[in-house]
């Protein structure tokens, strides 16, 4: 167990940067019934060494699904907009690519599936983010029963992570190699 979130984040991000990563999330996501059934999916545009989402976004748009992408506000909360296509995204805060139209923070409640970024997830569903609290706030707005998956690499699915009361649990870890159902889903 890591002694703190900061220690876990530092260790796991350093390990992520040091490992070569290949593949993206497309093939595994395509095979999932929840992805096949969802008409509106909240996702994100990957950056740097994060599991790659570009091909998945393109495929979702090509198969007539709506993709909600986050818009980072100055207070670190997230608004959401419909993805117009990769060429039509605009520069956002902290180097993010964002949709040009903000539909507001509550729009995530209209998603039928949410795939969010994470630094790591634990087998009990605890998600470790980058530390700004953006996704904990956004995930609190998701409709009950909507699947929430964290995109990570296989090595970032760990036994345990430090957690706070405000942390929002996730149902599964989507990796470039598989979908791992986490303990929270098994207990529901």
Reported as type and span, the H/E element at residue 42 is: strand 40-42
11 labelled binding-site residue:
no
Cβ(47)–Cβ(95) below 8 Å: yes
Residue 101 annotated in ligand binding: no
Whether residue 50 is annotated as binding a ligand: the answer is yes
Does 93 carry a binding-site annotation? no
Residue 95 assigned as binding residue: no
Closest by Cα among 113, 114, 120, 90 to 11: 120
Residue 133 annotated in ligand binding = yes
CA dihedral (106, 119, 171, 111) positive or negative: positive
Do the annotations mark residue 132 as ligand-binding?
Answer: yes
Query: Is 135 annotated to bind ligand?
Result: yes
**Residue 153 annotated in ligand binding:** no
Q: Provide the annotated binding site for substrate.
A: 45, 50
Q: Provide the annotated binding site for ATP.
A: 127-135
Q: Provide the annotated binding site.
A: 45, 50, 127-135
């Amino acid at each position: 167990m890591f002694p703190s979130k900061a220690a876990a984040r530092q260790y796991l991000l350093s390990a992520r940067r040091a490992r070569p990563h290949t593949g993206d999330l497309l093939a595994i996501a395509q095979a999932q019934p929840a992805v096949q059934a969802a008409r509106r999916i909240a996702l994100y545009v990957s950056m740097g060494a994060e599991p790659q989402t570009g091909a998945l976004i393109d495929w979702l748009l090509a198969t007539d699904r709506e993709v909600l992408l986050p818009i980072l506000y100055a207070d670190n909360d997230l608004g959401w907009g419909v993805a117009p296509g990769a060429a039509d995204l605009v520069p956002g805060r902290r180097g993010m690519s964002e949709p040009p139209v903000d539909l507001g923070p509550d729009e995530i409640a209209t998603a039928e599936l949410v795939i969010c970024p994470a630094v790591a997830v634990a087998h009990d569903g605890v998600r470790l983010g980058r530390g700004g609290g953006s996704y904990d706030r956004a995930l609190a707005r998701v409709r009950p029963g909507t699947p929430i998956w964290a995109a990570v690499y296989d090595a970032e699915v760990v036994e345990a992570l430090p957690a706070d009361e405000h942390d929002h649990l996730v149902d599964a870890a989507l990796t470039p190699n598989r979908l791992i159902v986490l303990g929270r889903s098994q207990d529901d």
